[in-house]
Amino acid sequence: MTNQEAKFILRAYRPSGRDACDPQFQDALEQTKHDPELAKWFAEERALDARLAEKLRGAIPIPTGLKAELLAARKILRPLPWWQRQPWLAAAAAVVLLIAAAGVSLWPRGPRQFAAFRDAMVTASFNRDPHITTMLSDVNAIKQWLAQQGFKGEIVLPMGLRTRPAAGCRILDWRGHKVSLICFHTGASKHVDLFVIDEADLPGVLLQGTPRFEAHGGLMTASWRQSGKVYFLAGAATQADLQQLL
């Protein structure tokens, strides 16, 4: 604590000495014991405060019974509840609450479902327990294994992923629907995950054949629709990195 800081605190010290045991003043008071210049300043301040207090004490006499008169004259006003003071505010608040309660219903079903799907797949991309259940590097073997697990339809890999080595795959369950996960190595201990689900299991999703890029949950993602399937690619990469894989 500097002397300037100590002076700032000690200026609030009351002449009566009632603040001597107050923890807020302890460090500043202790410093006066070790700094003669600060101690001299503090003594002068206390002397000045004492003189001012003495002069003010008898300067303005306090009328007898003033406290009782003030209390008797005081009117106790009970404030009205805010909804009674401002009826329009109550109405507006009710509307806001109704909208908040119905917000999920007001959001179109397609985007709402895709947002839930995206969140679940990003979580699955981070999941390591287990991340994949079958370790296969050959894409054709992966497609065959997925078909054996009940995943229907052809998976059309983007050109950039066809030359990448796969790490393995897994079948996820999302709201009773099968989702395939294929994990690809991208070098330097990194990977991307390709999730594929039937388009019919995500009705109303506003996706086109051109990939839509979006950063979400710490990952860069790309999503598109092709041949009756919805594709979702996610990885710890940049948009430019994902574009090279498509």
Task: Kindly report the three-state secondary structure assignment for every residue of the chain.
Answer: CCHHHHHHHHCCCCCCCCCCCCHHHHHHHHHHCCCHHHHHHHHHHHHHHHHHHHHHHCCCCCCCCHHHHHHHHCCCCCCCCHHHHCHHHHHHHHHHHHHHHCHHHHCCHHHHHHHHHHHHHHHHHHCCCCCCCECCCCHHHHHHHHHHCCCCCCCCCCHHHHCCCEEEEEEEEECCEEEEEEEEEEECCEEEEEEEEEHHHCCCCCCCCCCEEEEECCEEEEEEEECCEEEEEEECCCHHHHHHCC
pLDDT tens profile 102-142: 554 444 565 788 899 999 999 999 887 788 999 999 999 99
Q: Please check whether residue 192 is in contact with residue 204, taking contact to mean a CB–CB distance below 8 angstroms.
A: no
Q: What is the pLDDT of residue 155?
A: 93
Is pLDDT of 160 > 80?
yes
Is pLDDT of 235 > 90?
yes
Quick one: 144 and 29 in the same domain? no
The region of weakest confidence among 27-36, 46-55, 143-152, 212-221 is 46-55
Quick one: 143 and 40 in the same domain? no
How sure is the predictor about 166, in pLDDT bands with cuts at 50, 70 and 90?
very high
Q: What is the pLDDT of residue 106?
A: 45
Q: What is the pLDDT of residue 101?
A: 53
Quick one: 18 and 119 in the same domain? no
Q: Please check whether residue 184 is in contact with residue 90, taking contact to mean a CB–CB distance below 8 angstroms.
A: no
More confident residue, 13 or 224: 224
**Inside any domain, residue 233:** yes
**Inside any domain, residue 235:** yes
**Inside any domain, residue 117:** yes
Quick one: 40 and 129 in the same domain? no
Q: Please check whether residue 199 is in contact with residue 188, taking contact to mean a CB–CB distance below 8 angstroms.
A: no
Quick one: 121 and 218 in the same domain? yes
Quick one: 196 and 112 in the same domain? yes
pLDDT tens profile 20-31: 787 778 888 888
**Inside any domain, residue 39:** yes
**Inside any domain, residue 97:** no
Quick one: 44 and 130 in the same domain? no
pTM of whole model > 0.95? no
Count the domains in the chain: 2
Average pLDDT over the chain, rounded to an integer: 82
Quick one: 114 and 196 in the same domain? yes
Is pLDDT of 100 > 60?
no
Domain that holds residue 17: 3-57
How sure is the predictor about 7, in pLDDT bands with cuts at 50, 70 and 90?
confident
**Inside any domain, residue 161:** yes
**Inside any domain, residue 115:** yes
Quick one: 117 and 51 in the same domain? no
Phi, psi of 23 (to 5 degrees): -55, -25
Whole-Å CA distances, 119 to 154, 171, 182, 205, 224: 24, 17, 17, 15, 16
| Final residue before a domain boundary, out of 57, 73, 88 | 57
The region of weakest confidence among 31-40, 105-114, 142-151, 170-179 is 105-114
Max CA pair span of the chain = 101
How sure is the predictor about 19, in pLDDT bands with cuts at 50, 70 and 90?
confident
**Inside any domain, residue 90:** no
Quick one: 136 and 236 in the same domain? yes
Q: Please check whether residue 245 is in contact with residue 160, taking contact to mean a CB–CB distance below 8 angstroms.
A: yes
What is the CATH classification number for the domain harbouring 167?
3.30.200.100
Is pLDDT of 226 > 70?
yes
Quick one: 15 and 121 in the same domain? no
